[in-house]
Amino acid sequence: MVIVNFKTFSEATGRRAVELAKKAEKVNDETHVSVGVAPQFADITAVAEAVKIPVFAQHIDPIKLGNCTGHVLAESVKEAGATGTLINHSERQLKLSDIDEVIKITREVGLVSLVCANNPRISAAVATLKPDILAIEPPELIGTGIPVSKAKPEVVTDTIKLVRKVNPKVTILCGAGISHGEDVSVALKLGTQGVLVASGIVKAKDPYTILCEFAQATKIKRV
């Protein structure tokens, strides 16, 4: 599984978000590796209309219908076409009780929950809340091009070890600095089920080719 976080990059805003999502879908269809995208809120509708792959919101708020001007309602991103949501990304961290509440909301509304965590301890804490997917991303490597899977493999293996003690089922991804197919295959060898990637794809000269490389790398592992 490869999930591409569009963040607020200009290369992945508006019309360009739709184009990038189509490339991701092409890789998904050609390689039969699951590729998902996480566009900005205002782009969910257009992206979800354009592609059939999983679309994640980048965040939702722990709110109910009603008087919550300026907040992100689960029902809204769902109706716009999102199938899941990132939660607690290191650039949009939540209070612990809000993570719990948001995971609960995703279950009620029918969204896939992907919770991010900064380190192995936090990953284990998150895992006790039973999200669908957990992504370990050391913030100090985000956007650096230095892949967590190679630079800090112990962060990944410690995460898997601690998480599996408390939750045998959650899907575990890793992210931060993932730039090459090899970073992905190393991530899978360490025991993850995929990667969460942003600038490595979004800011690549040729996102389609790199994404293909990522997808192929996940297949090698399975052999």
Residues that bind a copy of itself (CB under 8 A): 5, 7-10, 13-15, 38, 40-46, 57-59, 63-73, 75-77, 79-80, 82, 86, 88-97, 99-100, 117-119, 121-122, 124-126, 128-129, 142-143, 162, 165-166, 198-199
CB 180 within 8 A of CB 213: yes
137 is catalytic: yes
Minimum distance between the CB of residue 18 and a copy of itself, rounded to whole angstroms?
10
Q: Is 19 a catalytic residue?
A: no
Query: Active site residue: 49, 89, 154, 182, which one?
Result: 89
Upper half-sphere CA count for residue 189 (Cβ side, 13 Å): 12
- Residue 76 burial (CB < 10 Å; 0-12/13-18/19+)? middle
68 vs 220, which CB is nearer to a copy of itself?
68
Catalytic residue among 25, 59, 137, 213: 137
CA nearest neighbour of 54 among 19, 78, 90, 87: 78
Tokens 């301890």 appear where? Answer: 121
Beta-carbon count within 10 A of 178 CB = 31
Of 175 and 181, the one with the shorter C-beta distance to a copy of itself is 175
Task: Please report how close the Cβ of residue 219 comes to a copy of itself at its closest, in angstroms.
Answer: 28
Instruction: Enumerate the active-site residues.
Output: 89, 137
